[in-house]
């Protein structure tokens, strides 16, 4: 959040307008709808699965187009090539900011895509990779922006400690090998869940059934990442039974670590988002977000098997 808030404070002033994906990290939504409004930012939330929705909202005071890809936690993939092309029509008026936490630089090099100006990562997640630090990072080819950002970070105290910096450097050294295993496991588990009789739907860009699979193949490299989400038949009650009875997989709000982590977004990561807004963004009450770790994939599968079997009474009664 330090990386996101510092970027907004650097790019936006009172009266400026930002167009942002409706399906966005809950903390980002809360920041813009509370402090953002207090600071005089004008905010428009759009369905980012169709880039024309961004175009419809652009006005003379629009300064930022903001996207996540894949989105948290719906796993929809934003077409960055189309978003960049849209921005370039307006010259230097508009900056495109992308949260690439789920994809990581291993899977998506967003700054290599024409029209993408700024990339943000929660380094707490995959870059650190061990659930033992809190950090964020902002990257850009725009030296003027980075100079202004540095001043914002200094004045608002968004400075990483030396110890956390050391931990982050350690984590980045193994990013390549970790992401290979995350991706391998995620593809395997997504395919397994997609055929399970108790699962209603699986959201993972690596599945050919995913609505954005073609876009993901174009802009993601070396696979599709370690994040999936899915919905259990029986809704929220069945989903809760599953996540509360896992043994190897940890129930926690974080993601991107070597251990598998699972959560219920409606009550955890997006609990601050009004129900109507959340559901309209595709985050249903029964949706489960799953950050797949680097454990043996058969061990992960077995843990899911036993938890789904426990939830069977809730599923049958639906």
For the chain, what are the domain ranges?
2-170, 175-316
Helix, strand, coil in percent for the chain, rounding step 5:
40, 15, 45
Quote the tokens at residue 141.
Answer: 């080819």
CA atoms within 13 A on the CB side of 48: 30
**Contact present, 103 and 74 (Cβ < 8 Å):** no
pLDDT at 266 (0 to 100): 78
pLDDT at 318 (0 to 100): 43
Distances in Å between the Cα of 307 and the Cα atoms of 93, 122, 129, 281, 311 are 51, 30, 26, 28, 6
pLDDT at 316 (0 to 100): 63
Which of the listed CATH numbers 3.40.47.10, 3.40.640.10, 2.60.40.1120, 3.40.50.880 matches domain 2-170?
3.40.640.10
Q: pLDDT tens-digit profile of 184-236? A: 999 999 999 999 999 999 999 999 999 999 999 999 999 999 999 999 998 88
pLDDT at 168 (0 to 100): 98
Average pLDDT (287-298) is 96
Q: pLDDT tens-digit profile of 49-69? A: 999 999 999 999 999 999 999
Whether residue 240 has pLDDT greater than 90: no
Which of 103-107, 155-159, 279-283 bottoms out in mean pLDDT, i.e. has the lowest? Answer: 279-283
Tell me, which fold does domain 175-316 have in CATH?
3.90.1150
């Amino acid at each position: 959040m330090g990386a996101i808030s510092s970027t907004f404070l650097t790019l936006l002033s009172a009266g400026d307008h930002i167009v942002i994906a409706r399906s966005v990290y809950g903390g980002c939504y809360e920041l813009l709808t509370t402090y953002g409004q207090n600071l005089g930012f004008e905010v428009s939330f759009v369905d980012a699965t169709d880039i024309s929705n961004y175009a419809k909202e652009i006005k003379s005071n629009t300064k930022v187009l903001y996207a996540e890809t894949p989105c948290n936690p719906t796993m929809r993939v934003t077409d960055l090539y189309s978003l960049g092309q849209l921005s370039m029509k307006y010259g230097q008026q508009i900056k495109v900011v992308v949260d690439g936490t789920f994809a990581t630089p291993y899977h998506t090099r967003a700054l290599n895509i024409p029209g993408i100006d700024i990339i943000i990562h929660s380094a707490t997640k995959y870059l650190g990779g061990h659930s033992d630090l809190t950090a964020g990072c902002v990257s850009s080819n725009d030296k003027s922006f980075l100079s202004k950002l540095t001043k914002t970070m200094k004045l608002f105290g968004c400075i990483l400690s030396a110890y956390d910096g050391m931990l982050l450097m350690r984590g980045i050294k193994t990013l390549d090998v970790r992401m290979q295993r995350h991706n391998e496991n995620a593809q395997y588990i997504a395919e397994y869940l997609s055929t399970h009789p108790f699962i209603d739907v699986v959201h993972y860009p690596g599945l050919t059934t995913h609505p954005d699979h073609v876009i993901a193949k174009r802009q993601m490299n070396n696979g599709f990442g370690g994040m999936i989400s899915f919905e259990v038949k029986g809704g929220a009650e069945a989903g809760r039974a599953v996540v509360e009875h896992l043994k190897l997989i940890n129930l926690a709000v974080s993601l991107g670590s070597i251990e598998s982590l699972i959560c219920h977004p409606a009550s955890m990561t997006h609990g601050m988002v009004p129900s109507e807004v959340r559901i309209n963004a595709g985050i249903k009450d029964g949706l489960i977000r799953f950050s797949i770790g680097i454990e043996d994939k058969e061990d992960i599968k077995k843990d899911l098997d036993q938890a789904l079997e426990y939830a069977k009474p809730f599923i049958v009664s639906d």
